[in-house]
């Protein structure tokens, strides 16, 4: 299947997290003023416009969120935005046995106006290498999964000259006994507590988990030398920020500490050539009616 690179550039970007930190603060108008607005997974805008804005130019989606995106397809699947999907090679393989890749290919046939992209296997390996370079932690041996936030930030660094990041707390926020309690997702007010989710994943040693706090330490490091700014809550990275591991922050003098490659000038970014588009392949042979398309999409969402 023919692939094409993603060609896109934005002077200013609003990278909007799914955090409950955004609720009630009416930053939506401010968010929408950026050249590009980037969102993650199935985070909605309808009903939350005052707090999170209403525009979406890029949406980065995890393989595990594909069904939820399909279930909300009337709102989330429109031709005006770029959708970038990521997932492990087992579900993204292109030999007919990659379930998620097969679904995306079918979506592209049914909805050819969608701008669908997937992150290549080579670039996925680069993400792993970058995580290890920044933290000293091997993702696989530590039973870690990079979060959608990690992929989204790395992609934003390639696409955007300036990133305004909304809803990310400082790395040490959840270690304070007086931290604000908010839901993990702004659109699930009765869902799990954000800090409880971060800490449980960070401390876990069994199974596969995200290292949310470690990732936030890396982002804070990057912001010391790159044009990244944090809002809601509004904060700036400390004058000196150290690397981290999956249990506790590593500090200067700790053998686990490794300075950020970005801070030393050896910048790592997402290569546009490694984000491969799903080309439209009209193998179905006939034009489907809207009713038939919706029926197929409903089946995929089940």
For residue 112, what pLDDT band results from cuts at 50, 70 and 90?
confident
The strand pairing partners of 10, in sequence order, are: 160
Q: Report the pLDDT averaged over residues 127-136.
A: 92
233-276 pLDDT tens trace: 999 997 644 443 333 333 333 333 333 333 333 233 333 333 44
pLDDT number for residue 113 = 83
229 neighbors 164 (Cβ within 8 angstroms): yes
CATH 3.90.1480 fits 10-301, yes or no: yes
* Beta strands 160-166 and 228-231, pairing class: parallel
pLDDT number for residue 3 = 63
pLDDT number for residue 228 = 96
pLDDT number for residue 179 = 87
pLDDT number for residue 246 = 35
pLDDT number for residue 252 = 31
* Beta strands 115-119 and 82-86, pairing class: parallel
Kindly compute the dihedral angle of the four CA atoms of residues 168, 130, 206, 178, in this order, to the nearest 10 degrees: -20
Of residues 239, 235, 210, 261, the one with CA closest to residue 41: 210
The residue among 112 and 92 whose pLDDT is bigger is: 92
Of residues 235, 252, 232, the one with CA closest to residue 244: 252
Compute the chain's Rg from CA coordinates: 19
Least confident window among 74-88, 185-199, 221-235, 273-287: 273-287
For residue 220, what pLDDT band results from cuts at 50, 70 and 90?
very high
Show the CA angle centred on residue 272, arms to residues 268 and 278, nearest 5°. 135
Residue 13: its H or E element: strand 10-16
pLDDT number for residue 74 = 85
User: Exposure pattern of 277-300 as b/e (b: 16+ CB <10 Å)?
Assistant: bbeeeeeeeeeeeeeeeeeebeeb
42-73 pLDDT tens trace: 999 999 999 999 999 999 999 999 999 998 98
- Report domain extents, the chain: 10-301
């Amino acid at each position: 299947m023919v692939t094409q690179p993603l060609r896109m550039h934005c002077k200013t970007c609003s990278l909007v997290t799914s955090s409950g930190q955004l609720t009630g603060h009416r930053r939506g108008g401010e968010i929408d003023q950026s050249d590009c607005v980037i969102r993650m997974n199935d985070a909605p805008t309808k009903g939350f416009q005052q707090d999170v804005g209403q525009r979406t130019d890029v949406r980065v989606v995890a393989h595990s969120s594909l069904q939820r995106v399909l279930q909300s397809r009337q709102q989330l699947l429109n031709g005006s935005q770029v959708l970038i999907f990521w997932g492990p090679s087992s579900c993204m393989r292109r030999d007919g046995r990659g379930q998620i890749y097969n679904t995306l290919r079918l979506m592209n046939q049914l909805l050819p106006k969608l701008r669908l992209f997937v992150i290549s296997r080579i670039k996925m390996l680069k993400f792993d290498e970058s995580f290890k370079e920044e933290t000293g932690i091997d993702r696989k041996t530590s039973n870690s999964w990079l979060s959608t936030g990690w992929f989204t930030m790395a992609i934003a660094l390639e696409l955007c000259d300036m990133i305004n990041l909304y809803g990310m707390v400082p790395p040490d926020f959840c270690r304070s006994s007086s931290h604000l309690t908010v839901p993990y997702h702004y659109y699930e007010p009765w869902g799990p507590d954000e800090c409880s989710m971060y800490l449980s994943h960070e401390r876990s040693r069994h199974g596969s988990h995200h290292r949310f706090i470690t990732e936030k330490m890396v982002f804070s490091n990057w912001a010391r030398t790159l044009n990244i700014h944090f809002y809601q809550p509004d904060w700036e990275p400390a004058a000196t920020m150290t690397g981290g591991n999956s249990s506790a922050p590593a500090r200067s003098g700790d053998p686990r500490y490794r300075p950020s490659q970005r801070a030393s000038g050896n910048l790592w970014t997402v290569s546009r050539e490694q984000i491969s588009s799903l080309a439209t392949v009209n193998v179905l042979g006939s034009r489907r009616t809207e009713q038939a398309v919706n029926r197929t999409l409903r089946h995929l969402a089940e």
